[in-house]
Structure 1
Amino acid sequence: MTSAKYYIEERKGLTKDKKGQPKVSYRVKIRIRTKGRKPQNITRTFAKRAAAEQWGKNRTKEIEQCEGIPETWGLRELTIGELIYEYMDHPTMGPKIGRNKFYVLRRLAASKIGEIVASQLTGSDVHDHCLQRLNADTQPSPTTIYHDVSVLKTVMASAKTCFRVNASLGYHHEALPELQSAGLVERSHRRERLPTEAEISRIFAALKKRRKHRNSSIPADEIAKFAIYSCMRLSEITRAKWQDFDSKAGTLVIRDRKDPRKKTGNHQVIPLCDGAIALIESQPTKGNHELIFPFNPKSVGAAWTRVVKSIDIKDLRFHDLRALGITLLLQSGLTTAEVMKVSGHRNESVLSNHYNRISPEYVRSKLKGLC
């Protein structure tokens, strides 16, 4: 049982008003008593007695209804857009934001949902946002729209603890089942896409042709080939350093490798195949640059996208080369544990569910003559 009473104390200040009288302020003191706990005091000062009376009445009523001090007291009221910008500027969370998440955050902040006060966000607001996205000129898929919902949830979950902003996830639990039922959002499906031998041949021929252009300085063909040989992500390839390459041992240290728990400090030594070693040793940056492949990953990715589009190959991403490399290693007879040493996966199910893209046709070829 909690009881609360307020008292108003009239206080005369040192400064004087226009009439030469000491300025008066009104200090409200709320005394809170809860059985089994020490009494608590809350104070606030007002210039006018009426405002002090109103505040005292409202606050004591809230305290008794909530059986204590409401947790929303002391929290700030920000719009979702303002909260997102604080999240992006946070000294520890901001630097960890990846490229895709960055664009999702920026889009959310600039949308109508970014104008809503975080504490007032409802499931209907999220539904309207997803419906607008689905009908946009860019025609995003329900899987893409799900990223908006997921990223928004991450920001809102950090609001109270990290930013002292009044917000809750009630809207999310209310909206998500209906959004999925209506087909507005959808979790990503298992990706099966792998380039065929013919596609790989066409892509590398086009990349080599592009490299001969006088304005092209990026060896995109060699970087793509290295992605298959090493099973590395593009961002890992473009920050690999000469000092971390051991030609005698045939290994490379990948620093701060992506990990769902903690990326910073997650350094992994990976074994390299002969083709990957030969590609590294052939790079002209040896001896005159810290990085093996000193190129902007966005520029490399853009070059890949342009070339693939120019030769009319559909739905093939640079990241699919990592899956191709892992699949080839599994087909070569390496165990899953051995492949994980190359790919860097700590969880076997992630490798099996997302990167093992062995086709039914390949398995069929292995089954011939067995029964």
Structure 2
Amino acid sequence: MNTSMASIHQLPSGKWRALIRKKGITPISATFVTEKLAKAFAKEKERQLEEIKATGRTAAPKGSTVAHYIDDYLDYIQRGRTLQRSALFIYKALKKRFGKIGIERLSKSHLDSFINDRKKEGVQGQTIAGDLSLLSSVLRYCYDSKHLDVDPDLADKARKSLKTNHKMRIKSREVECLPTQSEVDAIIAAYANKKRQKIDMPQVIKFGLYTSMRQSEICGIRIEDLDRENKTVIIRDRKHPSDKEGNDETVALLPSAWQIVETVIGSRQSGCIFPYNPKSVSTAFTRARAVAGVTRPVRFHDLRHKAITDFFGLGLNVPQVASMSGHRDWQTLKRYTHVKATDVHAAYNALNLKQGDLKNVDSQLALILQKLGDMNGAPA
């Protein structure tokens, strides 16, 4: 029995609305200029629903292109958040490149040709990987949300082939722009003469270095979420690769970070510890970088990578650093360890010292026990 029901009716405005109701799905509706268009829409949607029910996948509507689904994806994603202008620019370029190709006809050869053309233009592997990553998001959306019969991993596989098939080096921008201590000191010093600065950037920068938090996390943590006894704070809805909400994490604040917190909040009992707009923090940092004469494109986010590197330098292990940084994949943290041959010798020597200390403790304990035994066995 077909439980779907499409209704077509005219609105007071004169336009026509198609409404499709089917058990188990959210009602689908759209408005059209003519009744004919409304009926055609309803017929196509019902066909897709029946096909999905039978096979789990559906063919894309006739004439639908990559450009159509990029627009559809952008409309969907921007309901919940605002994309950066750089991402929108890339999507515009992708539409120009692949826009006229049918979404189901997009193939490996199309992407290989794209990669080769970008290489000829002198574009670096990391940039091409970023382009393909954004295209991958569209294909995944088509597969998961639209149930289209497309390969959701097509662009991702092309991105992974950059190193192997195309012999391109994928550099990590974060590690390349790892800020030096002298650069950080120069940027902080640039605020010395900024009398009208509303954001206490020196404290924000230092806090970022002592915690590895993102600027959005720093500006979001609240006084109410501090645990003064255990020196921790809760980061609400921390960034997660798949889950958008419910990712609260309790993070340790090391002594330097805790000292900044106490200084910043003063007598306040509630509200954000750093009540600033994250974008304003990023902008202020970039401006100070220019004033300080730091020529490399160091961003505020790069402080997070320096912090992680410093944590490893302090001797924290991977699980401990991951609990601070919020990384779900420990493999990602490998690039920050920077282990050298001299580090191995230093660690070995430190281990020998610890073992030597334990032997000394054992010897001293044995001597004390011996003396106690002699005392207990001595005549009264």
| Shorter-chain TM-score tier | 0.5 to 0.7
1:88 to 70, 74, 77: 74
Per the TM alignment, residue 85 of structure 1 is displaced from its structure 2 partner at its CA by 2.6
In the alignment, which residue of structure 2 is the partner of 1:342?
324
Q: CA RMSD in A?
A: 4.1
Per the TM alignment, residue 229 of structure 1 is displaced from its structure 2 partner at its CA by 0.8
SS at match of 1:282: helix
2:145 to 158, 162, 176: 162
**Cα distance change on mapping 1:305 and 1:369 into 2, 3 Å:** same
CA contact (8 A) 1:124 1:175 kept: no
CA contact (8 A) 2:56 2:147 kept: no
In the alignment, which residue of structure 2 is the partner of 1:191?
175
CA contact (8 A) 1:323 1:357 kept: no
Per the TM alignment, residue 204 of structure 1 is displaced from its structure 2 partner at its CA by 1.4
Q: Which runs of 5+ in 2 are unaligned?
A: 1-53, 353-380
SS at match of 1:252: strand
Question: Which whole-Å CA distance do the structure 1 matches of 2:321 and 2:163 have between them?
Answer: 36
* TM-score normalized with structure 2 length: 0.63
In the alignment, which residue of structure 1 is the partner of 2:127?
144
SS at match of 1:253: strand
Question: Which whole-Å CA distance do the structure 2 matches of 1:313 and 1:113 have between them?
Answer: 36
Indicate yes or no: 2:275 matched with 1:303: no
Count of aligned pairs between the two proteins: 297
As a proportion of its length, which structure holds more helix?
2
Counterpart amino acid of residue 147 in structure 1: G
Per the TM alignment, residue 173 of structure 1 is displaced from its structure 2 partner at its CA by 8.4
* TM-score normalized with structure 1 length: 0.64
Q: Which runs of 5+ in 1 are unaligned?
A: 1-67
Question: Which whole-Å CA distance do the structure 2 matches of 1:161 and 1:345 have between them?
Answer: 25
Question: Which whole-Å CA distance do the structure 2 matches of 1:70 and 1:367 have between them?
Answer: 55
Per the TM alignment, residue 179 of structure 1 is displaced from its structure 2 partner at its CA by 5.5
CA contact (8 A) 1:238 1:293 kept: yes
Counterpart amino acid of residue 198 in structure 1: S
Question: Which whole-Å CA distance do the structure 2 matches of 1:99 and 1:77 have between them?
Answer: 30
In the alignment, which residue of structure 2 is the partner of 1:363?
343
In the alignment, which residue of structure 2 is the partner of 1:79?
65
Paired-residue identity, %: 27
CA contact (8 A) 1:228 1:325 kept: yes
Question: Which whole-Å CA distance do the structure 1 matches of 2:187 and 2:91 have between them?
Answer: 33
Question: Which whole-Å CA distance do the structure 2 matches of 1:185 and 1:232 have between them?
Answer: 32
SS at match of 1:321: helix
**Cα distance change on mapping 1:133 and 1:96 into 2, 3 Å:** farther
**Cα distance change on mapping 1:346 and 1:108 into 2, 3 Å:** same
In the alignment, which residue of structure 2 is the partner of 1:126?
111
In the alignment, which residue of structure 2 is the partner of 1:37?
none
Question: Which whole-Å CA distance do the structure 1 matches of 2:180 and 2:344 have between them?
Answer: 17
Per the TM alignment, residue 227 of structure 1 is displaced from its structure 2 partner at its CA by 0.5
Counterpart amino acid of residue 253 in structure 1: I
The superposition leaves residues 14-72 of structure 1 with CA deviations (integer Å, 9 ceiling, x where unpaired) of xxxxxxxxxxxxxxxxxxxxxxxxxxxxxxxxxxxxxxxxxxxxxxxxxxxxxx99965
1:197-236 maps to which residues of 2 (within 5 A)? 197-209=181-193, 211-212=194-195, 214=196, 216-236=197-217
Per the TM alignment, residue 95 of structure 1 is displaced from its structure 2 partner at its CA by 3.2
In the alignment, which residue of structure 2 is the partner of 1:279?
260
Indicate yes or no: 2:308 matched with 1:322: no
Counterpart amino acid of residue 299 in structure 1: S
The superposition leaves residues 317-362 of structure 1 with CA deviations (integer Å, 9 ceiling, x where unpaired) of 32332222223233323343333332233443322x133346x497
Question: Which whole-Å CA distance do the structure 2 matches of 1:172 and 1:221 have between them?
Answer: 42
1:237 to 192, 214, 218: 218
Question: Which whole-Å CA distance do the structure 1 matches of 2:213 and 2:158 have between them?
Answer: 37
